[in-house]
Every structure is written in C-alpha cells, then in structure tokens.
Structure 1
Amino acid sequence: MTAGPSDLGVVDRARETELLEAALASGANVVLEGPPGTGKSTLLRRVAARREARFALVEGNAELTPARLVGHFDPALVLDRGYRPDVFVDGPLVSAMREGGLLYVEELNRVPEETLNALLTVMSEREITVPRLGVVRAADGFGVVAAMNPYDAVGTARVSSAVYDRTCRIAMGYQSAEAELQIISQRAPVQSVEWVQRVVELVRATRAHPELRVGSSVRGAMDLVGLARELARSRGVDGEDWQVGLDAALVALSGRIRVDESSTRTPEAIIEELYAQAFGPRPDGPGGEDESSGEA
C-alpha cells in the first residue's frame, strides 16, 4: 500500500517526524512506542509519502507466521513447475525489500517470536535467505519500522533484546490539548469550539483518573463528537444537550478505558463522574431531571 493525501494530517508531531526521517535516512530500523491513538501509523504514512516509498503494512498478531511475512511458494505451481523463483509469492517483507520500501509492523509485541526471528538478519544485514529461493537483498531505501503499545499486556509477549539491539526507539506520548482539539476539528464537524474543548478535557481526564489503568485516546473524543451529533439529530434536540453528551460519552469511552483491579466502580460510573466535572451537573428542566432520583 502507499500513502495518500488523506494520511498527511499529522498534528503536533514535527519533532517525531524529523527524528523518524533522520533515522531512516541513516539506515536505522525504528520502533515507535506509545499508547494507541498517538498517531504512530499516521506519522509513518506521512514520512513514506515524503520519501515516495512503498508502505507495506503488517498487522502483528499470533497468526503472523514467517511464511506470511516473508512469502511462500505456490503449492499448485510447484507441482507443475518445481521450486522456481517465478512461483514464489512475495510476502510483505520480501516485497518491501525488492522495492526499497518501508515495512511497517504494527503491534510488534504481539508477533510470535519465530516470526520476529525472521527479521533479525534483515534488520542487521539487509538480506534474507529463503529456502529454495536463495538470498534476497534489500534495495536502497528499504527500512523496518515497528509500533507497539508498552502498556498493553493482554496477548503480548516480551520483545527480545536481539530485536531491541537492532532498532532505535522513538517514544510517542499523547499530544497537547490544543493539538487534540485541532485533530477533532479536522476530522468531524463540531458544535462549538468551547463544547469540543470540554470533550477534550473529559477524554484527557480519563488518562489521569486514579481508578483507571488505561484512559482513552483522542479517537474516543472523535467518536463522542460524532455520536453526539447523530443522537441530537435523532432526538430533535440541541447538539450540546447535556444528556446527549453523556450518552455519547458512555458509548464512546466505556469500552476504551480500563478500570484498575482495585476499584469497585464500573466504567460507566467513572465516565459519569468525569463528564459532570467537564460539563457541569445534570441541569434542571424538561429532559434534564436526574432519572436516578426517581423524579418524573
């Protein structure tokens, strides 16, 4: 795949862009490390577009075998022609090597160890030996970039020191509140700047709440804004209606946050608490009564 114009909306990442471009130009392999929603994939697409390089994306998971990464001989054609180079089906790694492109491995710490081992020689020697095919050498411009979320322990494995020894690391934290406001404004129509600022405040508060192990990324804020717009339309109320915003927040954020094991509260209860802090208490009047109190 290649990067397109729509991928270039990187906000507040000038430093990381410069570091990544310098690392790749020097021939280094890079790990982009940070929580979800911090723009790791978008950043790499921007850099690939600037380099006019092929961008081969690999989803890191337990199903990523060495054959799926490197490539394989087509069984039917092997029976007919034997093990010849023209019956080898390039995987994303070999394809990127031949074309001098970038191989991007998402969720590096979810990739099986035997598959990661296939990358070691490639990262250090820029070549790989494929049984029955021979040695494949990388064209100029080839590079390996991986991304990982260091805070996610479910379904992940420890990345070996051999991999770390062959990579440079760029840490990517959450962007500023101003940058997240700009990201949301670029991606979705907003009710008002003040209202979206409160949405950003709410989402950022999930990252610092003492009872939450994991907070929401800016993607939660974008979904909240979109949900609120559609709920307000279907209910025939103002887009900044308090209950509409709460319902949108519950739907958009409850699945993204992770409550600490020591807490006895539900994700919904914590979101309601943070929502009231950002938007104020439930207002009085028609449609604004506190339903939990039993008032009609």
Structure 2
Amino acid sequence: MTMIPEQATQFADAFDRLVSGVEDVVLGKNHVIRLAFTALLSEGHLLLEDVPGTGKTSLARAIAQSVRGTSNRVQFTPDLLPGDITGVSIYDQRHGAFEFHRGPIFANIVLADEINRASPKTQSALLEVMEEGQVTTDGVTHQVGTPFMVIATQNPIEQAGTYRLPEAQLDRFIMKSSIGYPDHASMIRILDGAGHRAHEVTVAPVLTAETVVELAALARTVFVDPSITDYVSRLVDATRTAPEVRLGVSVRGALALIRTAKTLAAANGRHYVIPDDVKVLAEPVLAHRLLLDPESEFDGATASQVIAQIVVETPPPSERAHRD
C-alpha cells in the first residue's frame, strides 16, 4: 500500500499542529522542531547537543506534552546504574518469586538529560531498548510499548566528568540536532515572558499516542523512487571513501535517511520523496555517524562540513521521480 495525496494532506495538517504547539514554548526554532517531530514519526530517537540555556530540555518536555502519552525524565549522573533506567527484579517474599519493577525507560517519551554524564556501562543499557523497543532482565523480555522515543541532551562545551558516547550508541539516534541561540525578535518575546519559569509553561496535547503510531505507520507508505534510493546509496558510499573520514555511515544510517525522508515528504504534504528531502536531512541524520580521521580533525574538519561537501559533489537524480 502506498500513501495517496489525500492522506499526505491529512498527515501534513497533523504535523503542522504538533509543530505549532511546541513553537509557543520554543520560540523561533521552527526548523529544529520540525526535525524533532520528523524523528518521532520516523520511529527514531533524537540527540540534542548544544550549549547550556538554549532550551534543549524545554524542547524535549514540550514534545512529550504534545503527545497524550506517558513521559519520564532521567537525569544522567556518574553514579547512575543501568537498573536505575531499565528497572530491576526484586524478590517478593510473600509470593516466593522475583517481581520486575519497571524503570523510567517504560514511557512513550523519555528525556535522557545530559546523557554523556553517565558511565559507558549505564549508557549501554539503552542500546537494546533504543533498537528493539524492549528490555531484557534475568532472561525475561519486557516490551516498552509504542510510540517510544528517547530524546537525549548533551553539552559539548563542558567535558569535565563526561563520557563520550560510543559510535554504537550514536548510531541508535536517528538524528542529531542543535537549537542555537534565538534571533532578536524571539529573544524579545522570551524576555517579555521572564516572569514565568520554563517548567511552568506547558503545551496542550495535540495527538494521542495511538494517533502517533498510526501516523508513523502511514509515513512508511510514502513512495520512494528507485532513483532516490540510488541517490542515498551514493551519498553513503561517498562518506566511506572521503579522505577526512575513518569510519563512514553504516547501513543503519542509510535506512534512517530513507525513513526520515519519507516522513518529511508527508509532513510537506507529498506522498512521494524528492531529492530535496534527502538533502535537508543529510546533515542531521548522517553527520553524527561519521568518525573523522584525527589529523583531519586537527586541521579543523568537522563531520557537518564533510556531509555538506558530499551533498554538493554528489549529483541528485537527473530524472523526475515517479509520483504513482
């Protein structure tokens, strides 16, 4: 089954309502908000990396509030244990058996605040649940339910007491973005509302959790022309041969680009993907998956610059994609 134009229009309307609600809290950041909801409706996870005080936590909280589901916040610290996130089995003397007590990961939207402050052992507790939507404890598998999204934040400036996220962990995030400082007009509006603390501003629920699952399933039916998949494959291949790159984009990364391009196309009211969808998402979806050569990093190269150059040098499909 392939999405039809009428369904694309309905999808775009619901998407715009989600974005509009969050824009009342995170001012002047339409592009970042759209990327965040693209990640959610692509059934992926989002990593927000930015300096303190730019609204990372506010954005994550607003996304959780916009979906009428469950949400939890976990403050990652060096002494946090894996069981503090996933849950633990506790012996019940009355019944003579172990009973599993669910951790905060069992929610529709989970905010992992300052994820890089936890030890690698604790970070690794998220690998299974982010990839498969389940937690295995004492040989028993527990499903976390749907929708399920981890929104993680980290501060790239202050590195004392932090642990770099391993490549396997970064690859689980479908997208990485940053918010940045607001423009002048948005800053004035923020200062006008200085009498309200950030946690006091709430977003009215726009969709139910069940509707989010339905929209995510609908996004998977967006048509992708073979020329688009060829284009994505050429982009990914280019990351593996770029002289600045030691480790290129994985197959998971290529699949993520296709999935998010489908969602972005539907969010723009189209039932088919165009090359511009891929171009817009290439940097947030692919850049954090690159491992650069140390000498290139020393010379000032960044993953974002590498992706931008690859997009410029890789020609998009010359023929117009089919719209059937």
TM class by shorter chain equals 0.5 to 0.7
8 A Cα contact 1:107 1:147, kept in partner: yes
Q: Which of 64, 81, 96 is residue 80 of structure 2 equivalent to?
A: 64
Q: Is 1:82 aligned with 2:96?
A: yes
Identify if the C-alpha distance between structure 1 residues 62 and 121 changes in structure 2 by more than 3 Å, giving closer, same or farther: same
Deviations along 1:197-221, one digit per CA (max 9) or x if unpaired, are: xxxxxxxxxxxxxxxxxxxxxxxxx
Return the offset for 1:47. Answer: 1.6
SS at match of 2:47: strand
Distance in structure 2 (CA, Å) of the matches to 1:148 and 1:33: 5
Aligned to 2:216: none
Aligned to 1:292: none
Q: Which of 150, 153, 168 is residue 147 of structure 1 equivalent to?
A: 153
Return the offset for 1:107. Answer: 0.4
Q: Which of 126, 130, 144 is residue 138 of structure 1 equivalent to?
A: 144
Distance in structure 1 (CA, Å) of the matches to 2:176 and 2:64: 18
Aligned to 1:53: 69
TM alignment of 1:109-128, pairs within 5 A: 109-128=116-135
Q: Is 1:103 aligned with 2:110?
A: yes
Return the offset for 1:44. Answer: 1.6
Deviations along 1:67-98, one digit per CA (max 9) or x if unpaired, are: 111112335x2x332334xx3221101x21xx
One-letter amino acid matched to 1:70: T
8 A Cα contact 1:73 1:83, kept in partner: no
Q: Which of 165, 172, 190 is residue 166 of structure 1 equivalent to?
A: 172
Q: Is 1:183 aligned with 2:195?
A: no
TM-score by length of 1: 0.55
Aligned to 2:199: none
CA RMSD of aligned residues (A): 2.2
Aligned to 2:54: 38
Deviations along 1:41-87, one digit per CA (max 9) or x if unpaired, are: 11122222222122210001112101111112335x2x332334xx3
Aligned to 2:33: 17
Q: Which of 96, 103, 112 is residue 91 of structure 1 equivalent to?
A: 103
Return the offset for 1:6. Answer: 11
Distance in structure 1 (CA, Å) of the matches to 2:78 and 2:116: 10
Return the offset for 1:36. Answer: 1.0
Identify if the C-alpha distance between structure 1 residues 46 and 6 changes in structure 2 by more than 3 Å, giving closer, same or farther: closer
Please list every run of at least 4 consecutive aligned residues from structure 1 whose deviation after the TM superposition is greater than 3 angstroms: 5-8
Return the offset for 1:26. Answer: 0.4
Aligned to 1:267: none
One-letter amino acid matched to 1:169: K
One-letter amino acid matched to 1:63: D
8 A Cα contact 2:73 2:112, kept in partner: yes
Return the offset for 1:7. Answer: 11
8 A Cα contact 2:61 2:111, kept in partner: no
Return the offset for 1:138. Answer: 2.8
Identify if the C-alpha distance between structure 1 residues 8 and 91 changes in structure 2 by more than 3 Å, giving closer, same or farther: farther
One-letter amino acid matched to 1:163: Q
8 A Cα contact 2:134 2:144, kept in partner: yes
Return the offset for 1:150. Answer: 0.7
Distance in structure 2 (CA, Å) of the matches to 1:109 and 1:58: 12
One-letter amino acid matched to 2:192: S
Deviations along 1:100-143, one digit per CA (max 9) or x if unpaired, are: x11110001101111111111111122221115x1012312111
Q: Where does structure 2 lack aligned partners over 5 or more consecutive residues?
A: 1-20, 197-324
Distance in structure 2 (CA, Å) of the matches to 1:184 and 1:115: 38
One-letter amino acid matched to 1:162: A
Q: Which of 44, 48, 52 is residue 28 of structure 1 equivalent to?
A: 44
Distance in structure 2 (CA, Å) of the matches to 1:128 and 1:120: 10
- Higher RCO, 1 or 2 (CA under 8 Å, sep at least 6)? 2
Distance in structure 2 (CA, Å) of the matches to 1:188 and 1:24: 31
Aligned residues: 175
